[in-house]
């Protein structure tokens, strides 16, 4: 890969490390078409990898030292593979150390590397820059250690999720790491987050994605995320009294939930109603995509947003303003918040050729509603993780 960005990063690596990089590991960000807050309920998700990624240019070392330079954080970080330790002052480095920790836990003999890290996935925006860094880093460690192929894609995704849960301390599901690892150009991925089976779903030729970044603070996101997870667990516990066979909300139908709603408190019921209906919407979306019914896909996306706003309560005035701006344009099939919510991005499915009109409506309407200047991105469905030989 000799695109301009890679050339610039190669030159930067030479300046920083006074030697040449031999490999480049790439982890893309993602946008989720539908299936929000379903992954940690053993449910279904339908994300796509986007053409924005984090790249680790590297040169393997023969010892156990890892020397990193992050272009975006403009900072060096060094650690030894025999002395991994959470660093509360350099948060980005914990993702790298966490990956080293989880791979070592699996008995893999890692070697160190010199690495330049650089990305263009907007940070803290709900486009999974963390998963992109984890997947790029895992790919880098495996390559530096001559272990490419030692784990399959699903195993790498699981390892990356574990690093984030247990080393970084963020209680995320599997979706982001999975799509960053296993995404395919021109496709969405239907992931069954229980069995971890997945199916490629061709991205429709009559559809294009517009992503609107609210640039609104997500300060509530992590505490609310954990609270939602507990509420889902409370719902399962209540339902298990009458449905002993269920393990997760994935096993519950809308009819069952309605029948037994009095067993749980009304807030827990509304959280469960979102998850159960959202799982049904993901499968309905795949069916609609298979028959090229993009009007129906858009309707399902709109319904997903309403459910996330009203039942799951993870939208925000900024996200609502963003989807309204997107939907104001003829040629927008549907729009919804994407990712955990509370801020970050919304995604619209639009008719190809209408991307600029949707972007124009966002820049026109969204600042008036919120006093915040947004960012807008378009991206086709891109590939998952890649390892590129340089030089």
As measured in angstroms, the least distance from the Cβ of 40 to ligand GLA is: 6
Q: Decide if 340 contacts 216 (C-beta within 8 A).
A: no
- Please, which residue, 252 or 359, has the CB nearer to ligand GLA? 252
Task: Please report, for the chain, how many H helices and E strands are present, in that order.
Answer: 11, 12
State the residues that interact with ligand GLA by CB under 6 A: 36-37, 39-40, 172-173, 175-176, 339-340
Dump the DSSP string for 286-325. Answer: HHHHHTT-HHHHHHHHHHHHHHHHHTS----HHHHHHHHH
Contacts of 81 (CB under 8 A, 6+ apart): 64, 65, 66, 100, 104, 110, 111, 112
Strands 23-34 and 75-80: unpaired
Cα 275-244-195 angle, rounded to 5 deg: 55
- Please, which residue, 9 or 313, has the CB nearer to ligand GLA? 313
Q: Decide if 243 contacts 256 (C-beta within 8 A).
A: yes
What are the residue numbers of the active site? 176
Q: Decide if 280 contacts 303 (C-beta within 8 A).
A: no
- Please, which residue, 35 or 115, has the CB nearer to ligand GLA? 35
As measured in angstroms, the least distance from the Cβ of 133 to ligand GLA is: 13
* Three-state DSSP class for residue 79: strand
Residues β-bridged to residue 209? 349
As measured in angstroms, the least distance from the Cβ of 175 to ligand GLA is: 5
As measured in angstroms, the least distance from the Cβ of 306 to ligand GLA is: 16
As measured in angstroms, the least distance from the Cβ of 229 to ligand GLA is: 9
Strands 375-378 and 208-213: antiparallel
- Please, which residue, 172 or 216, has the CB nearer to ligand GLA? 172
- Please, which residue, 221 or 289, has the CB nearer to ligand GLA? 221
């Amino acid at each position: 890969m000799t695109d301009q960005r890679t050339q610039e990063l190669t030159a930067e690596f030479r300046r920083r490390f006074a030697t040449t990089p031999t490999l480049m590991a790439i982890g893309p960000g993602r946008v989720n078409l539908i299936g929000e807050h379903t992954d940690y309920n053993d449910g279904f998700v339908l994300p796509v990898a986007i053409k924005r990624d984090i790249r680790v240019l590297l040169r393997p070392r023969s010892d156990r030292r890892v020397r990193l330079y992050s272009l975006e954080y403009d900072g060096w970080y060094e650690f030894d593979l025999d002395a991994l330790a959470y660093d509360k002052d350099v948060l980005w480095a914990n993702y790298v150390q966490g990956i080293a920790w989880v791979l070592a836990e699996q008995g893999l003999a890692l070697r160190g590397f010199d690495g330049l890290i650089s990305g263009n996935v907007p940070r803290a925006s709900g486009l999974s820059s963390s998963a992109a860094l984890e997947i790029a880093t895992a790919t880098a460690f495996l390559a530096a250690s001559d272990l490419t192929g030692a784990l399959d894609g699903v195993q790498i995704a699981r390892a990356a999720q574990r690093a984030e849960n247990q080393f970084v301390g963020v209680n995320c599901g599997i979706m982001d790491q999975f799509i960053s690892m296993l995404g395919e150009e021109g496709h969405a991925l239907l992931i069954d987050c229980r069995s971890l089976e997945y199916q490629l779903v061709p991205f429709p030729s009559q559809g294009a994605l517009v992503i609107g970044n609210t640039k609104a603070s997500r300060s509530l996101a992590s505490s609310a995320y954990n609270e939602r997870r507990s509420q889902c667990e409370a719902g399962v516990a209540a339902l298990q009294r009458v449905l002993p066979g269920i393990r997760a909300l994935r096993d519950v139908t809308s009819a069952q939930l309605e029948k037994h709603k009095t067993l749980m408190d009304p807030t827990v019921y509304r959280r469960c109603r979102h998850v159960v209906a959202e799982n049904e919407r993901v499968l309905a979306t795949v069916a609609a995509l298979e028959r090229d019914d993009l009007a129906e896909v858009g309707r399902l996306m709109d319904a997903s947003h309403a459910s996330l706003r009203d039942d799951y309560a993870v939208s925000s005035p900024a996200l609502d303003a963003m989807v309204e701006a997107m939907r104001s344009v003829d040629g927008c099939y549907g729009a919804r918040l994407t990712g955990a919510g509370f801020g970050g991005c919304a995604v619209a499915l639009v008719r190809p050729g209408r991307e600029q009109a949707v972007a124009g409506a966002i820049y026109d309407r969204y600042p008036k509603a919120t006093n915040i200047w947004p960012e807008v991105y378009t991206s086709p469905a891109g590939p998952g993780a890649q390892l590129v030989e340089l030089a």
